Amino acid sequence: MTRRRAIIIAGAVAASVATTTLALESGGRSATASAPSGETATAAVIRTTLASRQQVSGTLQRGGSYTVVVQQSAGTLSGLPAPGAVIRRGQPLYWLDGEPVRLLYGTQAAWRPLELGDSDGADVRQLKQNLLALGFTDYGALTANDHFDEATALAIDQWQHAQGVPETGSLPLGSIAFLPGAVSVAAQRALPGSPAQPGTPVLDLSSTALVVTVPLDPSLRQLVHIGDRVQIQLPEGQTTLGRVSQIGADTTATNAQTTPASTSAGGSRQSAGDSSTQGSSTPPATVPLTISLNRPSDARGLAQVPVDVSITDTVHRNVLAVPIGALLALAGGGYAVAVEDHGTRTLFAVTPGIFDGNRVEVSSSRLEPGMRVEVPSS
């Protein structure tokens, strides 16, 4: 039995203050066992799936930070959003010579005009996904793939018509910027009315999405996979669920794709501050883990706060389980549960397994689902 398991079991029976002699389930032998003080109740033995978890520390924070730079030819910055403004899909990030540069969602940086004749690419797919999300579908003909077809040009026409701008069916380089999601303006890097050249920094932005970052011990790396569900305990004790979205090298690779260090990305560059970074040689090695929240509203108003993350390390299926409070420590060593049957109280020796919340797996030669075991009365 591991030290962790022993500590949990010890806590479960710590309230025992009296002893009694009862018949064990094997061979009718008697043994002295701790018995809980106060009132008792009963709970059913169930057959179920249990999962034990490792708890690790993480930080709830914004999902990324970016610097938007000019991609168009030289011009004048005619409009900038104020710090704190939130910009969502299809809305302008800034204006150059009176023309808006609009935000679209995606991880592939904008790097060329988007128009008929383009070779297939991830940027085309991102554009089409955004047009679909905005409701411009060429009357249902648009499909999300890497090919810029006639339906793509017509869907752009529809979007441009809705904006009240000339319907060209194409998007010049610099007219849109791809970023992973909605952003909040952290700071203006230039003033309205100032001249701008390609590469001129315009805005510092932060993601509105909250994620949990965990510097995972490498020994636990085999426990986690992209898409795994985890439980997150927030600062005031409430819990929420999340999913593993990035692990280790995958995180670095994604950042490199979405935020090139040069003046691209419709002009976005991601700073490393909001993602896990490699430290000096002094700190111990860790695997950067990023977790997205299933219900971001659960963490509304929180950022840059420590959280605890529970990662599943073992799953046992089709096992018997009882409430942890049903375990009784035998005076001669080992554990038992007190089975109630029409007023008769009999100790059944059990071997504890893994723990899941307030339940523990138990093995016994005669324990069966549906039996009632004694537990402390709540």
Confidence of residue 215 (pLDDT cuts 50, 70, 90): very high
Residues 278 and 223 in one domain: yes
Q: Give domain status of residue 227, yes or no.
A: yes
338-346 LR contacts (CB < 8 Å, sep 24+): 338/22, 338/33, 338/35, 338/373, 338/374, 339/25, 339/367, 339/371, 339/372, 339/373, 339/374, 340/42, 340/372, 340/373, 340/374, 341/371, 341/372, 345/22, 345/374, 346/22, 346/23, 346/24, 346/25
What was the pLDDT predicted at 1?
Answer: 52
Q: Give domain status of residue 262, yes or no.
A: no
Phi, psi of 199 (to 5 degrees): 95, -5
Collapsing DSSP states into helix, strand and coil, what is residue 142? coil
pLDDT tens-digit readout, 222-257: 889 999 999 999 988 899 999 999 998 644 333 333
Residues 334 and 351 in one domain: yes
Residues 335 and 368 in one domain: yes
Residues 335 and 293 in one domain: no
- Residue 300 belongs to domain with CATH number: 2.40.30.170
Q: What would the mean pLDDT of 357-378 be, rounded to a whole number?
A: 92
What was the pLDDT predicted at 282?
Answer: 53
Q: What would the mean pLDDT of 320-332 be, rounded to a whole number?
A: 94
DSSP state of 222: G
- With CA atoms as reference, report the closest residue to 36 among 323, 356, 250: 323
What was the pLDDT predicted at 283?
Answer: 62
What was the pLDDT predicted at 248?
Answer: 82
Determine the Cα–Cα distance for residues 186 and 199; give it in Å rounded to an integer: 19
Contact call for residues 141 and 154 (beta carbons, < 8 A): yes
pLDDT tens-digit readout, 290-319: 999 999 889 988 888 999 999 988 899 999
Q: Give domain status of residue 323, yes or no.
A: yes
Q: Give domain status of residue 181, yes or no.
A: no
Tally of domains in the chain? 2
Which residue bears the tokens 């009132």?
A: 39
Q: Give domain status of residue 73, yes or no.
A: no
Which residues span the domain enclosing 297?
55-62+209-248+272-312
Q: Give domain status of residue 189, yes or no.
A: no
pLDDT tens-digit readout, 36-55: 555 789 999 999 999 988 89
Residues 292 and 371 in one domain: no
Q: Give domain status of residue 68, yes or no.
A: no
Check: pTM over 0.85? Answer yes or no.
no
- Residue 14 belongs to domain with CATH number: 2.40.420.20
What was the pLDDT predicted at 16?
Answer: 41
Structure tokens at 268: 């976005």
Residues 296 and 357 in one domain: no
Q: Give domain status of residue 91, yes or no.
A: no
Determine the Cα–Cα distance for residues 214 and 286; give it in Å rounded to an integer: 9
Residues 300 and 338 in one domain: no
Residues 14 and 36 in one domain: yes
Q: What would the mean pLDDT of 21-37 be, rounded to a whole number?
A: 45
pLDDT above 70 covers a percentage of the chain that reads 80
Determine the Cα–Cα distance for residues 110 and 117; give it in Å rounded to an integer: 16
Residues 244 and 329 in one domain: no
DSSP state of 275: S
